[in-house]
Amino acid sequence: MKWLSKGKLVSVTGVCIITALVFQFIHFTIMSDIIFWIATILAGYPIAKNAFQAITLKVISIELLVTVAVIGALFIGEYSESAAVTFLFILGSYLEHRTLEKTRSSLKSLLDLAPLEARIVKDGKEEIIAAEDVQEKDILFIHSGEKVPADGRVIDGEAHVNEAAITGESIPVQKKANDKVFSGTIIDNGYLKVEAQKVGEDTTFSKILQLVEEAQDTKAKTQKFIEKFATYYTPSILVLSIGVFIITRDIRLALTFLVISCPGALVISAPVSIVAGIGNGAKRGILIKGGEITERAAKLSIIAFDKTGTLTVGKPQVAAIKTIEITENELLAVSAKAESFSEHHLARAILDEAAKKGVASNEKPENFQVFKGMGVIASIDGNSWLIGNRKMMAHNQVKINDDIEQYVYNEEVRGRTAVMIANGQQLKGIISISDRIRPEAAETIRLLKKAGKKVIMLTGDNERTAATVAAEVGISDYFAGLLPEQKVAKIKELQASGLMVGMVGDGINDAPAIATADVGIAMGGAGTDAAMETADIILMADRMEKLPFTLNLAQATVRNMQQNMFFAVSIVILLLVGVLSKTVFLASGMLIHELSVLIVILNAIRLLKFKSTGRSPINTNTNVFVTIPNQK
């Protein structure tokens, strides 16, 4: 039955009851009873139908309890009571549905952002097609005020783009040639020509919708417990009502007991809070994958951070080059060629520098091998080149004299990563690379500590660099020189000591650690499939300061759920007292029961307006440069 029809049914039944009361007032009893019967049948039919459908599935539902109570009321001639109970039940159900819709308003607002059409070039002419018909490699034209219909790369034009649909940030971001754009974002001003790279369900926007929808339907542990409890509780109430009648011989008391014991508010107490909490996060570019994740996030006692791309910006640059019997350009060219297959931050910095100096080439190395936590080895023109850290050099017996050791030490003290390059066993040079600490890192760490969280850093970088970064952001406990598997082992060690561990990383290099933690949190998930698939919580915008809000939201959601459960149980207990003291009757019991359901929902809706706790302004002009991890 459509909800519009249900609304009309509520209205018609209400009019019937008012009319019946009028006839009752003028002592036209027969007409009054007939109209009460009509009202009962009109409102009772959908209730009885749902009860029957549940029985066919071997489920004793709340609708069955109400149906039994209504039949009992009709049997003893309480027609006004039967009409009132059915009317109040469908009225409550109608209001419950309308109010619940508000808890899912975040998802609806996201759906409203979905692009509907696209402007493409076909056979040299512009034409407008449905967004779902866009194919990969299509050339798209997006004008000011239009939505981007697919993920893609800008090939021409310049514009400011509102990416709120992806990151939750409404401040427009400038886009120009070679920048990525995402489906669902809106051109604030300007013009872009874009090559479509991901279309339809493969776009980041579609995946966000899918994740939010799945998350809102994923049950928390508490919710699973309540539902299991209800499967035993509801039939028990039916049996107890029979027992009450047998003992008291008071059928009105037994029927009232049946109605007021319905666990409606209790059953809905957990899911409505979870849906509202996840919806709040989704609006702000925070994807929480379900109720169970929310419960775990609320209990986190320790937060472990990766360094590169998490505490640092993750955009390293070459800061200095030292050569040994080779020119700078030759060293840079051979290093770029050897790293051309690598996707590590170090490799990107070297490749960018080679391109900037015009020494990059399209030639690819042979026998390319990655040694995690050490570096790479590749063959170029028949020579074996090693690019990596001390471990890599020591493992291959590359001799490093005292002067070079001192140079490397000085670079690390300055906050730079020293990447060594060797031809065979002969060291040929060192490329120093630096990265910038996120301006919001120190404030975020402070807020987490203030919230009672222990904070540590796990990094593959060396001891000196780790100490420098940890001191800058205010982390007193750090573990340096860790390989990916050692990060996993450290997290397991913390879990074994009874701590609930959250791991924060970029979702790519730290996938094993993120997957091992009780809650894996990935930053900058927009356009990164690995992050969206591996992490439990994804901060779509590359904004670290959203982490304290995320954890606060999880705690607020769990508190809201507990408030609802306490209220629902308390109401049932108070109603039982009222029934036993004969101050609560059939219709009034149903009224209070339905009101309790609505109050539970309204309490959950408060979560939609939950805002972050007071955060101190962050100095975005901070410009501290540090090293990036020498880990591959």
DSSP SS3 for 173: strand
Contact 476, 470 (CB under 8 A): yes
Closest among 574, 560, 569, 558 to 602, alpha carbons compared: 560
Q: Which of 505, 510, 492 is nearest to 372 (CA)?
A: 510
Q: Which of 184, 188, 187, 186 is nearest to 210 (CA)?
A: 184
Tokens of 145: 């005020």
Torsion of CA 79, 82, 88, 92, to 10 degrees: -160
pLDDT in the model for residue 149: 87
| pLDDT higher at 501 or 590 | 501
Using CA atoms, how far apart are residues 221 and 291, in angstroms rounded to an integer?
8
As a whole number, mean pLDDT of residues 99-112 equals: 66
Least confident of 115-124, 432-441, 483-492, 513-522: 115-124
Task: Look up tokens 């598997």; give the residue.
Answer: 485
Contact between 585 and 80 under an 8 Å Cβ cutoff? The reply is no
Say yes or no to pLDDT of 527 above 60.
Answer: no
Edge-to-edge strand list for the sheet holding 501-505: 286-288, 537-539, 519-523, 501-505, 302-305, 454-458, 477-479
Rounded average pLDDT over 317-337: 91
Mean pLDDT, range 76-84, rounded to an integer:
85
Q: 631 pLDDT band (50/70/90 cuts)?
A: very low
DSSP string, 610-626: --PPP-PPP-TT---EE
What does the block give as tokens for 190? 């300007």
pLDDT category at 121 given cuts 50, 70, 90 is confident
Residue 426: strand, helix, or coil = strand
First to last CA, the chain: 59
Q: Which of 138, 306, 435, 518 is catalytic?
A: 306
188: number of CA atoms within 13 Å, CB side?
11
**How far is it between the farthest Cα atoms of the chain?**
114
If pLDDT is split at 50, 70 and 90, which confidence band does 431 have?
A: very high
For the stretch 601-613, pLDDT in tens is 889 889 988 886 5
Mean pLDDT in residue range 123-127: 77
pLDDT at 614 over 60: no
If you average pLDDT over residues 329-343, what whole number do you get? 87
List, in order, residues 6 or more apart from 298 with CB less than 8 Å away.
551, 554, 555, 557, 558
Of 523 and 321, the one with more pLDDT: 321
User: Do 202 and 224 touch, CB atoms closer than 8 A?
Assistant: no
pLDDT number for residue 554: 94
The DSSP H or E segment spanning 142 is strand 139-142
pLDDT of 577: 87
Q: Determine the pLDDT at residue 7.
A: 78
Contacts of 229 (CB under 8 A, 6+ apart): none
Transcribe 254-286 into DSSP letters.
HHHHHHHT--HHHHHHHHHHHHHHHHHHHHTTE
305 — pLDDT class (breaks 50, 70, 90): very high
Confidence of residue 199 (pLDDT cuts 50, 70, 90): confident
d(Cα 302, Cα 340) in Å, to the nearest integer? 38
Average pLDDT taken over every residue of the chain? 83
pLDDT exceeds cutoff 80 at 218: no
pLDDT grade, residue 103 (50/70/90)?
A: low
Q: How far is residue 167's CA from residue 194's CA, in Å, rounded to a whole number?
A: 20
> Is residue 571 exposed (0-12), middle (13-18) or buried (19+ Cβ within 10 Å)?
buried
Percent of the residues in the chain that have a pLDDT greater than 70, as a whole number? 90
> What is the per-residue pLDDT for 618?
39
pLDDT at 217: 67
Provide mean pLDDT across the span 257-286. 83
Helix, strand, coil percentages (3-state) for the chain, rounded to 5, are 55, 20, 25
Specify the pLDDT at position 626. 38
Supply 594's token pair.
């339905």
pLDDT at 186: 85
C-alpha 541/C-alpha 154 separation (Å) is 19
Judge contact between 420 and 427, C-beta under 8 A. yes
**Count of residues making up the chain:** 632
Of 512, 386, 531, the closest CA to residue 458 belongs to: 512
- CA 399-403-406 angle, to 5 degrees, is 105
- What is the reported pLDDT for 494? 94
Least confidently predicted of 220-234, 343-357, 508-522: 220-234
Report whether pLDDT(21) > 80: yes
Rounded Cα gap, residues 343 and 345, in angstroms: 7
pLDDT for 335 beyond 70: yes
pLDDT at 628: 37
pLDDT at 134: 86
pLDDT of 387-413, one tens digit each? 998 888 988 999 888 899 889 888 877
Element (H, E) at 165: helix 164-167
What are phi and psi for residue 78, nearest 5 degrees? Answer: -90, 70
3-state secondary structure of 591: helix
Q: Which of 267, 223, 275 is nearest to 102 (CA)?
A: 275
Helix (H, G, I), strand (E, B), or coil: what is residue 101?
helix
> What integer is the mean pLDDT of 302-319?
86
The yes-or-no answer on residue 306 being catalytic is yes
Percent of the chain with pLDDT over 90: 21
Which pLDDT band holds residue 168 (cuts at 50, 70, 90)? low
Least confident of 102-116, 232-246, 400-414: 102-116
Q: How many CB atoms lie within 10 A of CB 624?
A: 18
pLDDT attached to residue 622: 38
Q: Is a pLDDT exceeding 50 seen at residue 448? A: yes
Closest of 160, 144, 146 to residue 113, by C-alpha: 146
Closest C-alpha among 23, 122, 20 to residue 80: 20
Q: Tell me, what's the pLDDT at 387? A: 92
- Alpha helices by DSSP H, 57-197: 62-75, 79-103, 105-112, 164-167
At residue 528, the pLDDT reads 59
- Give the model confidence (pLDDT) of 529-542 as tens digits: 666 677 889 888 77
| Cα dihedral 464, 470, 471, 475 sign | negative
Helix (H, G, I), strand (E, B) or coil at 565: helix
pLDDT at 632 over 50: no
Query: Which of 212-216, 421-425, 565-569 is predicted with the least confidence, judged by mean pLDDT?
Result: 212-216
Predicted confidence (pLDDT) at residue 559 exceeds the cutoff of 80: yes
